[in-house]
Amino acid sequence: MGYIFDFNDAVAYEKWFNNPHNRFVAELENRLMLDLLKPVQGESVLEIGCGTGAGLLTFIDAGVQVTGLDPSPYMLDIALKNVGNRVDLHRGFAEDLPFEDNSFNHACFITTLEFVENPKRAIEEASRVAKDRIFLGVLNRYALKGIQRRVKGIFTSTIYNRARFFSIWELKQIIRSFLGDVPISWRTVCHFPAATGWITRRLEKSAMLQRFPCGAFIGMVVTLVPRFRTRPLAVSIKAKHTTGAAAG
């Protein structure tokens, strides 16, 4: 089942997002998501682990039909307050999505896989309900910020004590273990500990810098390629019987 955010977690996250510095970080992550996922106006997107709705608002602004899912009722309460009736919200778990196959054009995770019990199963489910692409936004295990968060967790209790950090190579291995050699592309953002100056803010938006694998946030998009499996069929042939002697 993984970790489900309680009331205090939900309030703390909303407070974190409303901080101007953190809002810039969230904007970087959401912009990376749109750049990689490339949703077209009118398409449908499922955000798995939608939290308080920050990612949902990004999709709404892009003209996309959005559905959000989260296991925490407290997160969903805040999300409902933030997005109103513009989004179809559901309570559920990433490993067991309550949707039919190919229900959406795209599916996405934004810092969700860190808290699920079975990340591979969650990605499999996203691949089942989406028909075009899935986006994975995760915390980078090898980024300086990621290391700082884990070290801090040794001395004090934080939400990151419950999180699993990922690497680009680990994500690729998980994806290709069940989807095969599908097209995958990635970038990273949040390379600097504090992007407060205009120079660092501009650098964070640089496509060249985003191709370095050391940013605190990894954005990865997987293009879902239909896989067909052939099965041999038995063909019945009725033998033609001949009568009479064969000519010598």
CATH of domain 7-223: 3.40.50.150
Segment 209-219, tens digit of pLDDT: 999 998 999 99
Q: Give the pair of three-digit tokens for residue 6.
A: 């309680």
Q: How many residues does the chain have?
A: 248
The pLDDT confidence band at residue 232, using thresholds 50, 70 and 90, is low
Determine which of 75-84, 177-186, 191-200 has the lowest per-residue pLDDT on average. 191-200
pLDDT of residue 243: 56
Say whether pLDDT at 201 is over 70. yes
pLDDT of residue 229: 55
pLDDT of residue 56: 95
pLDDT of residue 247: 52
The pLDDT confidence band at residue 5, using thresholds 50, 70 and 90, is very high
pLDDT of residue 248: 46
Segment 148-188, tens digit of pLDDT: 777 776 777 788 888 899 999 999 999 999 999 999 999 99
Written in H, E and C, the secondary structure of the chain is CCCCCCHHHHHHHHHHHHCHHHHHHHHHHHHHHHHHHCCCCCCEEEEECCCCCHHHHHHHHCCCEEEEEECCHHHHHHHHHHHHHHCEEEECECCECCCCCCCEEEEEEECCHHHCCCHHHHHHHHHHHEEEEEEEEEEECCCHHHHHHHHHHHHCCCHHHHCCCECHHHHHHHHHHHHCCCCEEEEEECCCCCCCCHHHHHHHCCCCHHHCCCCCEEEEEEECCCCCCCCCCCCCCCCCCCCCCCCC
